[in-house]
Structure 1
Amino acid sequence: MTKKSINKKENFRKKAHSIIFESNTYWGKFFDVALLIVIVISIVLLMLDSVDTYKFKYHNIFVTIEWFLTFLFSLEYLFRLYSVKKPSSYAKSFYGIIDLLSILPTYLEFLIHGSQFFMVFRVMRLLRVFRIFKLVHFLDARNTLAYSLRASWYKISYFLLFLILIVCVIGTAMFLVEGSNPESGFDNIPISIYWCIVTLTTVGYGDISPITPLGQFLASCIMILGYSIIAVPTGIVTSELTRKIQKEENLVTEVCKNCGEEHHLPDAKHCHRCGYELLEE
């Protein structure tokens, strides 16, 4: 293979990588929008295929469309492997596994025959729902949200520990207050703690309820305290999320061809994780 052909092949690979993994070019945006439409169509098709009326009436049409969509997803998966520097790394990544799971069930249905495998087919059809996870390719904030959750987990864990202590104390108190009334349902401390958790999370099944005025007063306090379950963790995560967004607002979505790292500085020439040279438009 001549040097010219090698350079031509490498340029084609860089162009494919730019279109498939980047979204700051015209063809990159076009690819993302087209892929989004195909994913939505496949999910709608999966839902319609679960309705017996549509399934029996349009079975052949659904099968034809399914194979066509599977062909498109297969091409996308192969091109993703082709355009990256380390195909095995992408194949073992989260996105690579999702891409594979989105096309594998259709091929397995074709290979496995016999009515005894009917239930296996149904499981394979449901596995197609993994295609919806391919939508994470379009969510630029996915890493930001994941970082915010990890960064706030230390504070949230203390809050959860506080709630556990509150639940145990109030649950025990409710047993002491309501335990003498068989009609109330507070037969023991574990059941009282269960009631406290149900009330604190604002679920309120209604299978157990206090009868005495003191028990009803404690229940009212727990109901009001239940709103903090939503307010406090939300505030903690929002604070970390805001801090992360402010930190990344000046970064671009350049994707490293070698390791897949995103969010580099606008004037960056090399990946800040592995040092690989970034693509130049």
Structure 2
Amino acid sequence: MRKYLHHQLFTGAEFDGRLTLLNKLLVAIILLAVFTAVLSTEAELHDKWHYELLVAEAVFGAIFLAEYLARIYAAAENPGPEGDWVKRWRFIRSPLGLIDLAVVIASLLPLFVSHSSVLRTIRLLRVIAVMKFGRFSRALGEVWGAVKDRGDDLLVTLVLAGMLLLFGATALYLTEGDIQPEQFGSIPRALWWAVITLTTVGYGDAFPITPLGKVFASFVALSGIALVAMPTGIIAAAFSEAMQRRRDQRIEEMRAHLERLDQVDEAVEAKIAALQRTSNPKP
């Protein structure tokens, strides 16, 4: 039983890279628990289904507590010469163990403390923890590798965006500060407008009214379109290169495997020939 739980909860992936059945069920339960927590923040639903939501939260809390205890129990199967309780204590202190403990606390605390339902969203951390297994792990690793490979390019983009924000805020402060002191009376105030304009959101709560201010605003808005697109293109190109490297690696692995099979076939044929010679000696 302990080995089975260890494979289902810790190994977390079958030989084909898929999640184990238990981890799939846990992901579904986590998403259902988060969805329930989101619905419980609506006053009308909370008042109408208060008892049902409370029971659901208690059930989710019991499931996550049982999972946490099962992980502690199965942690003794982790490789290493240490004793069972040493391995279990290591798991408790590990990032995965701390995430599990936080999920359990977040699930049970709202049952005893009011206005703590927001803590239930911590359960999403368990989804991230489960996703580190199997094919999800490789996909996340490739995404992170793509970002690291283009770190310098992304840093340059970030610096350019910061310079443009400061330029736009300063320009609107100089041109609109005396006319609209509430919105542009200082560079920090103007920075709010610069951020929402650069990101092409534009809430409309602050906007220039002078011709020169509109010219600067147009420049910032058009530059924002390019700066928002630049990181997307950089990451997409890096991810495409990572996928190509992975395909090339798979091709090389398949070629090496075929070469090993050829060597094995030749060795087998040689042994068969030797056995035939010994079993049928020449007169």
Task: Give the TM-score of the pair, scaled to structure 2.
Answer: 0.65
Instruction: Confirm whether residue 18 of structure 1 aligns to residue 7 of structure 2.
Output: yes
CA displacement at 1:30 relative to structure 2: 1.9
Could you tell me which residue of structure 1 aligns to residue 84 of structure 2? none
Distance in 2 (alpha carbons) for counterparts of 1:88 and 1:67: 27
Match of 2:61 among 51, 64, 70: 70
CA displacement at 1:243 relative to structure 2: 3.5
Aligned residues: 234
After TM superposition, the structure 1 = structure 2 runs for residues 1-281 of structure 1, keeping only pairs within 5 Å, are: 12-20=1-9, 21-24=11-14, 29-84=20-75, 85=78, 86-108=87-109, 120-123=113-116, 125-136=117-128, 137-138=130-131, 140=136, 141-178=139-176, 182=179, 186-248=184-246
CA displacement at 1:107 relative to structure 2: 4.6
CA displacement at 1:142 relative to structure 2: 3.2
Q: Is the 8 A contact 2:154 2:231 kept in 1?
A: yes
CA displacement at 1:41 relative to structure 2: 2.5
CA 1:155–1:189: 2 relative to 1, 3 Å:
same
CA 1:45–1:240: 2 relative to 1, 3 Å:
same
Distance in 2 (alpha carbons) for counterparts of 1:213 and 1:200: 19
Structure 1: runs of 5+ lacking an equivalent: 1-11, 113-119, 253-264, 268-281
Give the number of the structure whose residues are more often helix, by fraction: 2
Measured against aligned partners, the alpha-carbon deviations of 1:35-69 in whole angstroms (never above 9, x if no partner) come to 22222332233233333444344444333333333
SS of structure 2 residue aligned to 1:23: coil
> Sequence identity, in percent?
26
CA 1:244–1:76: 2 relative to 1, 3 Å:
farther
In structure 1, give the amino acid aligned to 2:8. I
CA displacement at 1:231 relative to structure 2: 0.7
Could you tell me which residue of structure 2 aligns to residue 4 of structure 1? none
In structure 2, give the amino acid aligned to 1:217. V
Distance in 2 (alpha carbons) for counterparts of 1:208 and 1:68: 48
Q: Is the 8 A contact 2:173 2:187 kept in 1?
A: yes
In structure 1, give the amino acid aligned to 2:22. F
CA 1:29–1:162: 2 relative to 1, 3 Å:
same
Q: Is the 8 A contact 2:58 2:108 kept in 1?
A: no
CA 1:172–1:43: 2 relative to 1, 3 Å:
closer
Structure 2: runs of 5+ lacking an equivalent: 79-86, 257-283
Please give the root-mean-square deviation of Cα atoms over the aligned residues, in Å: 3.6
In structure 1, give the amino acid aligned to 2:74. S
Radius of gyration: which is bigger?
2
Measured against aligned partners, the alpha-carbon deviations of 1:5-51 in whole angstroms (never above 9, x if no partner) come to xxxxxxx4433222223322699532122222222332233233333
SS of structure 2 residue aligned to 1:121: coil
